[in-house]
Structure 1
């Protein structure tokens, strides 16, 4: 086949790798509109389960990814001036620049033509048997065919900004700061020896009250450094990256689409769906989309049947992730409900923020039941049974309202 990928992010690059491994005769071109080495953000996160799936599909790229990543297991939260820690699952951070460079190098080694500074005209794309829109939430190809794909964007209540710091965090760290204008908080994780990602979030009223909506770049960064001094230990905060230095506050946009394919065009990753950044799943989901699409095409049936199988599989697999993302965003939007609990309870419920039950149960009662469920198998089974059913019911209700 002749395959063209619009977008040289993790999903598009990994899909090109998998298709070359299936058949070296495939003619594959990846078009990335940005120059080489230019990308938004600092580091991304993923978990051990993703590594297992990557190893099963392409051991060399999985090995390179693992070797370039910074591991952690513990979570650490600073609430006002109190600090609490919890042990968790194995997680990793990797610089986005490094991840893209590794995947691009692997793709080129296999014979993929990776072109940077090359944009596709959505009205006149290159001739191809298969055209993959892996060009993010702002996908020009999806927008050009919006009447077929039926995209729907909804904005969250809070605003956030993606920053970096040279301080290297060896645990996934949170800091919650009380200000005269409301709470502001930070998620921080290391991605390599050069530094860490810091995502800062607050309600719009807090953002405006602190003057972050109008202050110049240097004033914003100094204000945030002062607020999170206990977390940063004197390290500075840095703008998005060298090419986008100014802080860019925005509400998170959740994208859903009615369909994922049209003729020879198929959506992948953020071009098809987004999930709130607080669950750290964006890169993982793009890579899993790439695996699922390559698997479906590898079955050897008609292209449209492969597209349909890919979409069915990924929609099914995304149900629990999208539910977790909605509840995670809702937890942070309702932070005052939890913030005055004892720090160890508050941090434990932060870890349970994906639960569809939590918004409907008094926080302290939920905490006590959850602790009991860890000891009693019957309660664990009830929680596992009830949670997904409530999530499906709430999703069905939301669908009917639309």
Structure 2
């Protein structure tokens, strides 16, 4: 049966869903409606990890190969605190420019026969006529807002202001830099997304934000101050904003969005329209793409739309529980930075990596660090014991076979 699908929002979730549905059945009539002109997007680069790339290869190898080829990689994490630095080896991370990611997904969707209509805004009152309408129009979703009472939308603002910037400094690792000012701490997260640029997210407590005058500064003045504060990690490279130089700098506070229900009739929420997780865990794009995979799978497995949408929501809610918990604790770690910042850099960086733990806020930091190290040594001993056990078993088996011969 040919199904007509209208996907409102041309971000990663909406475009990838259209690709998967077309691959499942080329006869599906699918249109992606994007309100912005083609080539315009917010943000700089997005991060993801090997597990997502493996899933993309499993569901659409062609777009996965293009995404992998356009990505940069790193495996180290670096933390700069005052004049001290520490570096650790970690899992391989990937970065890709958001603009390039959307370009790849849009081209792949079109090659499969999806109509991608740019500069075409769908408001809450102009829902397209389709068998399935997908609200992939972000945290401010007009389609969700029209039925906010049904969806049970809840939005909670975070405490710390942050700003999303680019830079010509290409970091060789996922980089954290914490700078102490007379008004408190300010910090940045930096990671590469191409061979020419990196993303740089700057965050601070409200007291620092007001004390430094960032609440009153223009874009140009904000960038000049931040370049001075983070000169030691930027190597003199400028920061790049998106607002006009004389306009107010676009500082935000993160909004955690949840919904009591994810569907209403033939309308279903996808990606940031359904849920958000704090940017400090770098999972937004991954979760959006995983939503698309789950929704496509549910539509393939169930003939009736209500059952398919219920199965999709159930699967994704269960998958999100641990991620949303990690995001909450990660945000709280930064909001309580003074609790950790004076630890020795090695310990501070170790607890930065443990910021998702629900125990960490309730255990003295140095005690938590010692317990975590002890647990790590015990696990290493368990792994060594298992390896030695397997090796001794193989040796004994070989001796037995030899004696029988």
Same fold (TM over 0.5): yes
The answer to whether residue 146 in structure 2 is matched with residue 144 in structure 1 is yes
Name the structure 1 match of 2:17: 15
Structure 2 counterpart of 1:110, from 105, 109, 112: 112
Name the structure 1 match of 2:184: 182
C-alpha separation between the residues in 1 aligned to 2:246 and 2:89? Answer: 35
Name the structure 2 match of 1:200: 202
C-alpha separation between the residues in 2 aligned to 1:364 and 1:300? Answer: 52
Report the alpha carbon displacement of residue 378 of structure 1 after superposing the two structures with TM.
10
CA contact (8 A) 2:209 2:215 kept: yes
Report the alpha carbon displacement of residue 121 of structure 1 after superposing the two structures with TM.
2.7
Partner SS for 1:376:
helix
Structure 2 counterpart of 1:30, from 29, 32, 44: 32
Q: Which moved more, 1:119-128 or 1:77-86?
A: 119-128
Q: Structure 2: where are the runs of 5+ without partners?
A: 384-405
Name the structure 1 match of 2:312: 310
Q: What are the within-5 Å matches in structure 2 for residues 85-96 of structure 1? A: 85-96=87-98
Q: Could you list the per-position Cα deviations for residues 315-368 of structure 1 after superposition, in whole angstroms to 9, with x for gaps in the alignment?
A: 000000000000000000000000000001000100000011111111001111
Name the structure 2 match of 1:84: 86
C-alpha separation between the residues in 1 aligned to 2:116 and 2:197? Answer: 28
CA contact (8 A) 1:240 1:246 kept: no
Q: What are the within-5 Å matches in structure 2 for residues 178-327 of structure 1? A: 178-240=180-242, 247-327=249-329
CA contact (8 A) 1:38 1:243 kept: no
Structure 1 counterpart of 2:57, from 43, 55, 61: 55
CA contact (8 A) 1:16 1:28 kept: yes
Q: Which moved more, 1:327-336 or 1:294-303?
A: 294-303
Q: What are the within-5 Å matches in structure 2 for residues 161-180 of structure 1? A: 161-180=163-182
C-alpha separation between the residues in 2 aligned to 1:33 and 1:251? Answer: 24
Report the alpha carbon displacement of residue 193 of structure 1 after superposing the two structures with TM.
1.5
C-alpha separation between the residues in 2 aligned to 1:51 and 1:258? Answer: 30
Q: Give RMSD over aligned pairs.
A: 1.7
Report the alpha carbon displacement of residue 296 of structure 1 after superposing the two structures with TM.
0.2
CA contact (8 A) 1:188 1:197 kept: yes
Q: Could you list the per-position Cα deviations for residues 271-319 of structure 1 after superposition, in whole angstroms to 9, with x for gaps in the alignment?
A: 0000000000000000000000000000132100000000000000000
TM-score scaled by length of structure 1: 0.93
Q: Tell me which stretches of 4 or more aligned residues in structure 1 moved more than 2 Å.
A: 240-247, 377-381
Report the alpha carbon displacement of residue 145 of structure 1 after superposing the two structures with TM.
0.7
Partner SS for 2:48:
strand
Q: Could you list the per-position Cα deviations for residues 188-218 of structure 1 after superposition, in whole angstroms to 9, with x for gaps in the alignment?
A: 0000022000000001110010011101221
Structure 2 counterpart of 1:45, from 31, 38, 47: 47
Q: Structure 1: where are the runs of 5+ without partners?
A: 382-402
Q: Could you list the per-position Cα deviations for residues 170-193 of structure 1 after superposition, in whole angstroms to 9, with x for gaps in the alignment?
A: 210000000000000000000002
Tell me which structure has the larger Cα radius of gyration: 2
Structure 2 counterpart of 1:335, from 334, 337, 341: 337
Partner SS for 1:38:
coil
Partner SS for 1:192:
coil
Q: Could you list the per-position Cα deviations for residues 16-71 of structure 1 after superposition, in whole angstroms to 9, with x for gaps in the alignment?
A: 00000000000000000000110111000000000011111111111110000010
Partner SS for 2:275:
coil
CA contact (8 A) 2:217 2:248 kept: no
Change (3 A) 1:309 1:350: same
